């Protein structure tokens, strides 16, 4: 594995800023990703633009798709971040906006796949809106993953290089309260107080959490009223839900939709719902076990595993029934923060492990998976 070339590719990616909300910046970044990917893989990607967001797809070889390698090139960092957080490598620590989440993972994917004797059956999908919740790319991700033997997600590792074998599902709600305005001093009894209704509903919603099952239901941003001397006529609060199982996601969703007003004359409206299904432990178990065997074969320490609360596009691939392993990317830390960094010494070994995993899956499919049959379509 050529570490010098890998670092040069990573520098080029980091130095092309790509904040998710800036479609022009994401398009520029996509061209850099496409150029580097084409140079390593010997094939140009398809450019897929959905609602102004640029995604890239390589379908390698001529056979049916079997393994999906998944990443994203957008970041949370605004334009101009390089001025205060320039790319640097010092003392074996690489820094720069988006280096850990997750441009290093993209470079690792290109170098790993390029090292294979054959990548026939590998699809590489690089999306441009993951940090926004994948609003345009979700359908694309699910379509590419459905029916495949495995989805390998190049998001950064958990602390200490742990692979992410479980991710909580996410549901997002906006609870809106409708009351009736009245003068707070002259005749408050004529009003229906949206603030009081909000207080009732917040307590009921917070009680839906199940610590024993890992379910968190958290009321977050809220607001009611217009002036200090008016009974509030309206209000709202947001709810963040994290769950480890589909059953819990369904339970909370049903409970949210069954909320009813407490105050006479008040109304409660529920907007939103499940955003990402959970990546349950069962979806990653066989892949994680295989990684352990391959690490031993390579003379590497077997990576540990972690269950994390944050979501990724791996939630979507697991949600369509595809075995999924996440956190295969860089080792480091500080995602989304000024301390974002990658440990350089870990890059070659992690890249070799990824290459070994892809090669092993192509040679020996996971038990119980069905290789899709050829459709006759050419895969560039």
Looking up tokens 């670092």, which residue turns up?
7
The pLDDT score that the predictor gives to residue 214 is 95
Burial of residue 60 (CB within 10 Å: 0-12, 13-18, 19+) is: buried
Rounded Cα distance, 309 and 255, in Å: 21
The pLDDT score that the predictor gives to residue 46 is 98
Question: Taking the chain (380 residues) in consecutive chunks of 10 residues, what is each chunk's mean pLDDT?
Answer: 95 98 98 98 98 98 96 97 97 98 98 97 98 96 98 97 97 98 97 98 98 97 97 98 96 98 98 95 97 97 94 96 98 95 98 98 83 36
What is the full DSSP assignment across 342-380? Answer: EEGGGHHHHHHHHHHHHHHHHHSPPTT--PPPP-S----
Contact 53, 23 (CB under 8 A): yes
pLDDT tens readout for residues 145-181: 999 999 999 999 999 999 999 999 999 999 999 999 9
The pLDDT score that the predictor gives to residue 1 is 76
Looking up tokens 């820094």, which residue turns up?
95
Closest CA to 33 of 19, 49, 54: 54
Contacts of 8 (CB under 8 A, 6+ apart): none
The pLDDT score that the predictor gives to residue 370 is 53
Structural domains of the chain, ranges and CATH numbers in brackets: 3-167+278-363 (3.40.630.10), 169-276 (3.30.70.360)
| Length of the chain measured in residues | 380
The pLDDT score that the predictor gives to residue 369 is 63
The pLDDT score that the predictor gives to residue 366 is 87
The pLDDT score that the predictor gives to residue 165 is 97
pLDDT tens readout for residues 115-144: 999 999 999 999 999 999 999 999 999 999
The pLDDT score that the predictor gives to residue 377 is 33
């Amino acid at each position: 594995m050529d570490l010098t070339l890998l670092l040069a590719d990573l520098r080029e990616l980091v130095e092309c800023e790509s904040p998710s909300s800036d479609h022009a910046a994401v398009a520029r970044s996509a061209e850099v990703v496409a150029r580097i990917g084409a140079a390593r893989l010997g094939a140009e990607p398809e450019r897929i633009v959905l609602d102004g967001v640029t995604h890239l797809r390589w379908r390698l070889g001529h056979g049916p798709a079997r393994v999906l390698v998944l990443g994203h090139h957008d970041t949370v960092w605004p334009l101009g971040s390089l001025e205060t957080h320039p790319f640097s490598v010092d003392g074996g620590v690489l820094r720069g906006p988006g280096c850990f989440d997750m441009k290093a993972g993209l470079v690792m994917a290109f170098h790993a796949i390029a090292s294979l004797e054959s990548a026939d059956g590998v699809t590489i999908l690089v999306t441009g809106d993951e940090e926004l919740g994948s609003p345009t790319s979700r359908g694309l991700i699910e379509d590419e993953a459905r029916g495949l033997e495995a989805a390998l997600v190049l998001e950064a590792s958990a602390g200490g290089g742990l692979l992410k074998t479980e991710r909580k599902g996410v549901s997002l709600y906006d609870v809106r309260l409708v009351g009736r305005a009245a003068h707070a001093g002259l005749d408050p009894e004529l009003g229906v107080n949206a603030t009081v209704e909000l207080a009732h509903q917040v307590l009921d919603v917070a009680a839906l959490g199940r610590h024993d099952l890992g379910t968190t239901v958290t009321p977050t941003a809220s607001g009611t009223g217009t002036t200090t001397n008016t009974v509030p006529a309206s209000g709202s609060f947001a709810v963040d839900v994290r769950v480890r199982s589909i059953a819990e996601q369904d339970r909370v969703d049903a409970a949210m939709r069954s909320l009813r007003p407490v105050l006479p004359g008040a109304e409660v409206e529920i907007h939103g719902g499940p955003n990402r299904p959970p990546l349950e432990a069962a979806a990653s178990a066989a892949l994680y076990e295989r990684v352990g065997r391959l690490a031993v074969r390579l003379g590497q320490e077997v990576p540990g595993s972690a269950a994390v609360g944050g979501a990724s596009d791996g939630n979507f691939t697991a949600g369509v029934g595809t075995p999924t392993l996440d956190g295969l990317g860089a080792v480091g830390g500080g995602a989304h923060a000024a301390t974002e960094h990658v440990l350089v010494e870990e890059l070659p070994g992690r890249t070799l492990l990824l290459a070994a995993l892809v090669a092993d899956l192509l040679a020996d499919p996971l038990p119980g998976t069905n290789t899709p049959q050829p459709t006759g379509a050419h895969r560039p």
